[in-house]
């Protein structure tokens, strides 16, 4: 088994003196990879460390950890171990057990790599894993990008065995008399990948021998084409930021538009993990028609005046009792009692103290809110008033609304209800509202 040409092709080798952190489950694939890297390291001027993550999901989890630890002791390889409650993480975030285990494992590997200064993180995905991933992605309808399968390199992550057949790994283990542990869950058919491997794959091999190699080869070809299309799609994006000219997006060939939007989403903190075709279709409609859309990962899309912008969705604001100084969302609000003749300024609201028998609260706008303004014939919908004043929909839920008990007293930027208007010479509550100026997170 010779992985050197593959590793050099994909720049998997660290610089002289660098470290490769190898993910070690204790199974045959990871033991094979760790041994190969250990043997390769002296001649190529790097060192190897191993990281084992105990998911605490199986009765044999402690056995696997002990095996991995002892193997590294015998081979003189630095060993790092992490633990995580996969079931608790899955319940907290709404992930499947497999997804929770994967996320915790990779978080541990990344953290360990940072702590020890490892330039690369090696995982033992091999050719059969690649072929199975492509088939599963095809069944999920993930499109061309999913059919590229597992990338050989992603950031620090490297896959030296990705073009290596399972039989080659078995032969290497036998030739070097390497010990390993068997994961008994690999024989259970409760996981989609296991059912594919145990039930479907033998039939695929009977239909066409070498199915795994051919599927993996197809993934490699598609990867090159996918990279070219991504480069083409990127030419429609600005150099930085998450704002996109809708005219430019809609001028792109239809086949590229979804790809352009996917690249735009990768620029957000949320990334693309929880986005699907339905979200990109909705984004495209938004670019055509305007409006606002809430998306996964706390992302909000806003399309105004021909620009589609992705931004972080503000946290839900809750009602809050006003004190002398109150921070609420994007605003700082001051409250005091004063007496005399006053004229309201743009940032000031005056309420008649004689009409206030409870504390004043600030809260978000509600669809049922109504306000009777001076000179109007009756109460009007606050929603309609906001629309008439051109206040964008995405700003409305962050606009301060002031209440006395259940009664709406005033809306910042709109006005004060006639029932709470001050009278000359009366004692009033003066509310001063200042909007905080934050750095625009969309500028890169």
Report the alpha-carbon distance of residue 201 to residue 207 in Å, rounded: 10
pLDDT (tens digit per residue) in 356-366: 888 999 999 88
Asked if 116 and 79 touch (Cβ cutoff 8 Å), the reply is no
Look at residue 188 in the predicted model and tell me its pLDDT: 66
Report residue 421 as tokens.
């208007």
Look at residue 22 in the predicted model and tell me its pLDDT: 98
Band of pLDDT at residue 318, cut at 50, 70 and 90:
confident
The CATH number of the domain covering residues in 235-312: 3.30.465.60
Nearest to 156 by CA among 112, 120, 195: 120
Band of pLDDT at residue 442, cut at 50, 70 and 90:
very low
Band of pLDDT at residue 341, cut at 50, 70 and 90:
low
Question: Taking residues 123-131, what's their average pLDDT?
Answer: 95
Look at residue 269 in the predicted model and tell me its pLDDT: 79
pLDDT at 439 over 60: no
Q: Where are the domains of the chain?
A: 4-221, 235-312, 320-435
Band of pLDDT at residue 438, cut at 50, 70 and 90:
very low
Per DSSP, helices labelled H in 25-165 are 28-44, 61-75, 86-93, 97-116, 127-140
Pairing mode, if any, of strands 325-328 and 331-339?
antiparallel
Nearest to 213 by CA among 140, 129, 124, 157: 129
Nearest to 360 by CA among 420, 316, 315, 314: 420
pLDDT (tens digit per residue) in 109-121: 999 999 999 999 9
Asked if 223 and 280 touch (Cβ cutoff 8 Å), the reply is no
Look at residue 392 in the predicted model and tell me its pLDDT: 78
pLDDT at 378 over 80: yes
pLDDT (tens digit per residue) in 181-220: 987 666 666 678 888 888 988 999 899 989 999 999 999 9
Asked if 426 and 342 touch (Cβ cutoff 8 Å), the reply is no
Which CATH topology does 4-221 take?
Rossmann fold (3.40.50)
Residue, of 272 and 149, whose pLDDT is higher: 149
DSSP code at position 355: G
Dihedrals phi, psi of 239, to nearest 5 degrees: -60, -30
Look at residue 443 in the predicted model and tell me its pLDDT: 36
pLDDT at 440 over 60: no
pLDDT (tens digit per residue) in 37-89: 999 999 999 999 999 999 887 788 899 999 999 999 999 999 999 998 888 88
> For the chain, what is the radius of gyration of the CA atoms?
30
Residue carrying the six token digits 């008649």: 352
Q: Please list the residues that pair with 291 across neighbouring strands.
A: 303
- With a threshold of 0.75, does the pTM exceed it? no
Look at residue 110 in the predicted model and tell me its pLDDT: 96
Nearest to 320 by CA among 238, 402, 385, 232: 402
Look at residue 35 in the predicted model and tell me its pLDDT: 98
- CA distances (Å), origin 297, targets 304, 310, 311, 385: 22, 12, 11, 31
Residue, of 292 and 373, whose pLDDT is higher: 373
Average pLDDT taken over every residue of the chain: 89
Least confident of 85-94, 111-120, 238-247: 85-94
Question: Taking residues 6-20, what's their average pLDDT?
Answer: 96
Distant-in-sequence, close-in-space partners of 105: CB < 8 Å, separation ≥ 6: 23, 53, 55, 84
């Amino acid at each position: 088994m010779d992985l050197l040409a593959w590793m050099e092709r994909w720049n998997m080798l660290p610089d002289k003196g660098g470290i490769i952190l190898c993910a070690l489950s204790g199974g045959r694939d990871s033991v094979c990879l760790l041994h190969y890297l250990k043997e390769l390291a002296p001649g190529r001027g790097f060192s190897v460390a191993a990281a084992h993550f105990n998911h605490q999901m199986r009765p044999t989890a402690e056995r696997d950890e002990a095996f991995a630890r002892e193997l590294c002791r015998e081979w003189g390889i630095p060993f790092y171990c992490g633990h995580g409650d996969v079931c608790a993480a899955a319940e907290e975030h709404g992930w499947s057990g497999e997804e929770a285990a994967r996320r915790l494992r990779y978080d541990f590997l990344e953290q360990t790599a940072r702590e020890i200064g490892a330039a690369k993180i090696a995982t033992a995905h091999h050719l059969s894993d690649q072929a199975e991933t492509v088939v599963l992605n095809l069944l999920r309808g993930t499109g061309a990008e999913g059919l590229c399968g597992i990338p050989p390199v992603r950031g620090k992550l490297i896959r030296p065995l990705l073009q290596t057949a399972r039989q080659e790994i078995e032969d290497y283990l036998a030739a070097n008399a390497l010990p390993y542990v068997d994961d008994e869950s690999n024989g259970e058919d409760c996981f989609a990948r296991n059912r594919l491997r145990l039930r479907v794959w033998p039939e695929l091999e009977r239909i066409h021998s070498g199915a795994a190699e051919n599927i993996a080869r197809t993934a490699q070809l598609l990867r090159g084409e996918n990279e070219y299309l991504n480069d083409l799609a990127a030419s429609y994006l600005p150099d930085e930021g998450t704002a996109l000219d809708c005219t430019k997006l809609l001028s792109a060939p239809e086949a590229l538009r979804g790809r352009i939007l996917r690249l735009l989403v990768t620029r957000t903190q949320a990334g693309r993990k929880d986005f699907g075709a339905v979200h990109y279709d909705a984004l495209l409609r938004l670019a055509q028609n305007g409006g606002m859309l809430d998306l996964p990962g706390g992302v909000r899309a806003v399309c105004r005046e021909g620009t589609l912008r992705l931004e972080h969705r503000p946290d839900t604001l809750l009602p809050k009792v006003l004190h002398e100084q109150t921070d609420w969302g994007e605003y700082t609000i001051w409250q005091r009692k004063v007496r005399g003749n006053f004229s309201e300024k743009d940032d000031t609201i005056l309420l008649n103290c004689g009409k206030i028998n409870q504390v004043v609260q600030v809260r978000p706008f509600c669809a049922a809110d109504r306000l009777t303004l001076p000179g109007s014939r009756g109460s009007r919908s606050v929603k309609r008033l906001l629309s008439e004043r051109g206040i964008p929909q995405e700003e409305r839920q962050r606009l301060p609304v002031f209440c006395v008990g259940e009664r709406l007293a005033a809306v910042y930027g709109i006005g004060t209800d006639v029932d709470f208007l001050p009278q000359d010479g009366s004692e009033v509550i003066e509310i001063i509202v200042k909007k905080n100026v934050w750095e625009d997170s969309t500028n890169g």
